[in-house]
């Protein structure tokens, strides 16, 4: 049997996964800063760790998956003040929207969802330990900063030397710092800020810096040392580098054994066919709910899973259209065989399942696993075997795919200006009557009109038994 290997950013190689506690796996993933709708890049990150979570469970591990909510941060405060609403009102609303989007995409909820504002005492405790060890200091402006050059291991995750590094993201220029690389742990309160973002501390009224939040939440939920820490590639530096400095500086031992990062989403320019990184600063990002207006949620899921989680993912209409066509092929194959309505289990001794497991054990290689599904569907199209159909559907479900009745997917859509089901059925009835009357010209016309509207009919000797949207 193959062994699960994970690419560890810290080691810069694939390593066999050996959990700290046999049979158990603890995974912390940096989640959303909730002040706006989630975009497709967020979907890619949450999908990557959804697959890892699913595969760890399939592999027999008792998993504790923690994905936090950042509900206190500069951008949140700014947006709430602009809106004239409370921080809680803003963050709770967008957390609800996030949950709606992830549910639509079939992303499983984490086991634990800590909110930063609930862990301020733990943050203050870690900052106090860092101060005692000479790794934190209070500057003249009241902020408490981390003394980066006092932590010998700084830069080991990003692979950068101290001389090459610059002050981290989300950190204001601060003349109170002893070194430009130092980052804030505790921000002194400003009079202009709402009272709800002010906490009392040994160092005066203030609020936590972004990086200390995750050190505190991961430690509180998984312990000082856990198995997997994940997030987007953009978090590798400075956020995750700073987390290591904080947690290892405070506790004196490794924070996480495996550091996992998913790749960026790049947006393809439809005119030039050139892909560039998606970002709000370039104004080329797409929210999940906007994309859901254009494509079925499972098409989006399938599109994301066709790329390896560490590779860049090119987002564009042509890529999504291709994903839709490919997923339609899989569902069409299932539509021809009754696989039953009962729960299905994978036969892991079957040849396709063995290859599927080998792919997923090789750093969660979903593109190869999906290729195995297409090989199996080729067999299914030939054999029309119920056993093949059940195995195919069970394997796909491991990735959160093909869990609907085939016709539900094939006939989905049309709400945005297309023909609704009643109109389609009425047209099929008129066509059947025309054929019975041997008015084949009328029959062909109706078929052509439906095809022009994106409706494909499936004729059999006993009549039109099924239809699907192209």
The pLDDT tens digits for 75-122 are 999 999 999 999 999 999 999 999 999 999 999 999 999 999 999 999
At 275 the pLDDT is 80
pLDDT at 463 over 50: yes
Predicted local confidence at residue 418, as pLDDT: 61
Tell me: pLDDT of 451 over 90.
no
Binding site annotation covers 95?
no
Name the band, by pLDDT with cuts 50, 70 and 90, for residue 435.
Answer: low
269 with 257, same domain: the answer is no
pTM: 0.89
Q: Please say whether the beta carbons of 427 and 435 come within 8 A.
A: no
pLDDT, tens digit (0-9, with 9 covering 90-100), for 351-401: 999 999 999 999 999 999 999 999 999 999 999 999 999 999 999 999 999
CA distance 219 to 123: 10
Please tell me whether residue 274 adopts helix, strand or coil conformation.
coil
Residues 75 and 211 in one domain: yes
HSE toward the beta carbon, residue 429, CA cutoff 13 A: 6
Cβ atoms of 374 and 392 within 8 Å: the answer is no
Q: Which of 15-24, 397-406, 438-447 has the lowest mean pLDDT?
A: 438-447
> Is 193 labelled a binding residue?
no
Contacts 24+ apart (CB under 8 A), 81-88: 81/194, 86/194, 86/196, 87/194, 87/196, 87/197, 88/196
Instruction: Please check whether residues 452 and 332 belong to one and the same domain.
Output: no
> Are 148 and 154 in contact, with CB atoms under 8 Å apart?
yes
Q: Which of 182-191, 276-285, 322-331 has the lowest mean pLDDT?
A: 276-285
* pLDDT tens digits, 31-85: 999 999 999 999 999 999 999 999 999 999 999 999 999 999 999 999 999 999 9
53 found inside a domain: yes
Does residue 470 surpass a pLDDT of 70? no
| Residue 45 is assigned to a structural domain of this protein | yes
Q: Say how far apart CA 465 and CA 407 lie, in whole Å.
A: 11
| First CA to last CA distance, the chain | 41
Q: Could you tell me if 61 and 170 lie in one domain?
A: yes
Q: Are residues 136 and 191 in the same domain?
A: yes
What is the residue-wise DSSP string for 4-62? -EEEETTTTEEEE---SSTTEEEEEEEEEE-SS--BHHHHHHHHHHHHHHHHHHHTT-E
Is the domain of 109 the same as that of 160?
A: yes
Query: Residue 12 burial by CB count (10 A; 0-12/13-18/19+): exposed, middle or buried?
Result: exposed
What pLDDT shows up at residue 170?
43
In a shared domain, residues 249 and 272: no
Tokens (6 digits) for 200: 């009392």
415 occurs within a structural domain: no
| 239 labelled ligand-binding | yes
Q: How many CB atoms lie within 10 A of CB 397?
A: 17
Per-residue model confidence as pLDDT tens digits over 240-276? 999 999 999 999 999 999 999 999 999 987 777 788 8
- Residue 330 pLDDT level (bands cut at 50, 70, 90): very high
Is 115 labeled as ligand-binding? no
Q: Which CATH number fits the domain that encloses residue 199?
A: 3.40.50.620
- Look up the domain containing 462 and give its range: 421-469
Share of the chain above pLDDT 70, in %: 87
Cβ proximity of 25 and 63 under 8 Å: yes
CB atoms within 10 A of CB 74: 18
* Residue 142 shares a structural domain with residue 231: yes
Q: List, for residues 144-155, the tens digit of each pLDDT value.
A: 999 999 999 999
The whole-number pLDDT of residue 344 equals 87
Please, what is the Cα angle at 55 between 385 and 341, to 5 degrees? Answer: 35
The answer to whether 309 touches 51, Cβ cutoff 8 Å, is yes
Asked whether residue 214 is marked as a ligand-binding residue, the answer is yes
| Average confidence (pLDDT) over 420-428 | 65
The alpha carbon dihedral of 150, 151, 152, 155 has a sign of negative
Looking at the structure, do residues 201 and 278 belong to the same domain, yes or no?
Answer: no
Whether 21 and 117 map to the same domain: the answer is yes
């Amino acid at each position: 049997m193959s062994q699960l290997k994970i690419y560890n950013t810290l080691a810069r190689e694939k390593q066999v996964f050996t959990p700290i506690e046999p049979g158990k796996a603890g995974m912390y993933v940096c989640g959303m800063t909730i002040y706006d709708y989630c975009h497709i890049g967020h979907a890619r990150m949450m999908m990557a760790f959804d697959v890892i979570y699913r595969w760890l469970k399939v592999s027999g591990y008792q998993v504790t998956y923690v994905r936090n909510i950042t509900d206190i941060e500069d951008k949140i405060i700014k947006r709430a003040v602009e809106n004239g609403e409370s921080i809680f009102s803003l963050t709770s609303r967008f957390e609800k929207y996030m949950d709606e989007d992830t549910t639509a995409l079939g992303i499983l909820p984490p086991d634990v969802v800590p909110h930063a504002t609930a862990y301020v005492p733990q943050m203050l405790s870690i900052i106090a330990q860092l101060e005692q060890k000479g790794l934190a200091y209070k500057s003249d402006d009241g902020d408490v900063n981390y003394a980066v050059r006092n932590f010998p291991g700084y830069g080991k995750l990003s692979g950068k030397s101290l001389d090459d590094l610059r002050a981290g993201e989300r950190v204001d220029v601060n003349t109170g710092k002893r070194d430009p690389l130092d980052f804030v742990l505790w921000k002194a309160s400003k009079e202009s800020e709402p009272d709800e973002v002010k906490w009392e501390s040994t160092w005066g009224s203030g609020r936590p810096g972004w990086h200390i939040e995750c050190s505190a939440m991961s430690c509180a939920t998984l312990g000082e040392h856990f198995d997997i820490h994940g997030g987007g590639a953009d978090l590798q530096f400075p956020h995750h580098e700073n987390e290591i400095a904080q947690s290892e500086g405070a506790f004196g031992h490794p924070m996480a054994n495996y550091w996992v990062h998913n790749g960026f989403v790049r947006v393809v320019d439809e005119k030039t066919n050139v892909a560039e990184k998606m970002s709000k600063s370039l104004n080329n990002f797409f929210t999940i709910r906007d994309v859901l207006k254009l494509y079925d949620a499972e098409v989006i899921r399938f599109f994301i899973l066709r790329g390896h989680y560490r590779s860049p993912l090119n987002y564009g209409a042509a890529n999504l259209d291709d994903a839709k066509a490919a997923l339609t092929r899989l569902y069409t194959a299932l539509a021809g065989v009754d696989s039953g309505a009962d729960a299905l289990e994978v036969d892991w001794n079957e040849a396709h399942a063995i290859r599927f497991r080998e792919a997923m054990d090789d750093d969660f290689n979903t593109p190869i696993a999906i290729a195995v599904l297409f090989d199996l569907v080729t067999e299914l199209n030939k054999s029309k075997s119920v056993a093949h159909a059940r195995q195919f559907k069970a394997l796909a479900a491991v990735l959160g795919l093909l869990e609907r009745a085939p016709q539900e997917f094939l006939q989905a859509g049309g709400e945005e200006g297309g023909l609704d089901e009643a109109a389609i059925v009425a047209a099929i009835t008129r066509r059947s009557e025309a054929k019975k009357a041997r008015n084949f010209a009328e029959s062909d016309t109706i078929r052509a009109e439906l095809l022009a509207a994106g409706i494909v009919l499936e004729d059999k000797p006993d009549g039109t038994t099924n239809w699907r949207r192209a």
